[in-house]
Structure 1
Amino acid sequence: MNKLNTGFSKLPDDAFDNKAQTIVTALTGNAAFPTPSPTLAIVTTALTDYKTALAMPEGTAARTAQVHATRAKLSTLLEQLARNLELTPNVTDAQLATTGYDLHKVPTFTAEPVTAPGNVRLKQAGVGGVVQVMCDAVDRAQAYELQYTLDANAGPWTDGGTFTSTRRIGITGLTRGKDYWARVRAVGPNGPGAWSDPATIMVT
């Protein structure tokens, strides 16, 4: 995985100018990277050309074309520079942090189970014997499992299926005029979490 962030395309023109200047300044005289490639002279020349394009009168086709061309060239050089910096023998993250580039954030993984869904509520779906189940989304959830019953204390609980979104959870084929209880649990990278508190509704 590349450690230095070269996602410059989202930066406005002025911000890209500032970032490129920051990188050149950070690498000038940097003992950890004495011979960057492309050389700082080449990058600085491309940066100067880009600054010159930005200084052209705004709103002209010539400026737009020149900014686009010089920015593309500078961006390519900075991407090549980043990859070569990463290939420096025995380079450390601490050293890469001195280059002026932003470091990619390393995703964190946890063995903790996902939390139980909150705010579970049931709603008539407008069709006889059908109930919509709603709840708050759970962080890291990959799916949601549903169970329902006529007796929340004694059970038994019936499997109501697995759903990919909290917006599409529903129960069909229920007996009208009966009180039903439903509960939901999230399934995360490490398996299912705890069941939510049950919610109830009289089916119409």
Structure 2
Amino acid sequence: MANKSKVLVNFARMKDDELMVAATTIISAMTDNVHFETPSPSLESVQVLVDDYAAKLNAARRRGAPSDTALKNEVRQPLEEALQKLGYYVNATAQGHLSTLLSSGFRSSSGISSLEVPLKIEAVKVRDGRQSGQVRLDFAPQRAARMYECVYRKQHEEAWSAHISTTSSRLNIIAPLSVGQYYEIRVRGINTHGQGDWSDIVTIMVR
């Protein structure tokens, strides 16, 4: 008898951004999904873990202190365990039915997926925000992308010292920035298959 398809439940090797994308994709796909009416654990409880992990991840990247990284790693483990339990529920409920498995947002052992690594983000535009020290970022959306990563720096600096994650291609506000300084900004798409290429760099003077 052929082996039944299953969703993959090991998240330990995923990079931080990949885990965030996977968790966000799964919650979105399973919300109001008629195939999975009683998720265990609940999607609400998993969302709490995702929000906590996202906050700790952003703090670790923003400040870079060892204590922030340790906190991020501490909250990552409960999130991985919750997603793993949710994957067991999906496998038990779907009983190897491939289209049902794929509708959960989990990756499948069959290797079949409608997604590929995102392409390079195009049409990146920056403009003044509504307040001083703000910049608005917009770009062309990609269906394959589940999340977007944006990095920015003062012009002529070598390191990309700041990072934000977003699920929207419009109305992204970057702040606080130094007034009168030129900033360089770039963005890329991310999904469970990996990270796309960075967009071309755009530059703006903050007002």
- TM-score, length of structure 1 as denominator length: 0.48
Q: Which structure: larger Rg?
A: 1
- Structure with more contact order per residue of length (Cα contacts < 8 Å, sep ≥ 6): 2
- TM-score, length of structure 2 as denominator length: 0.48
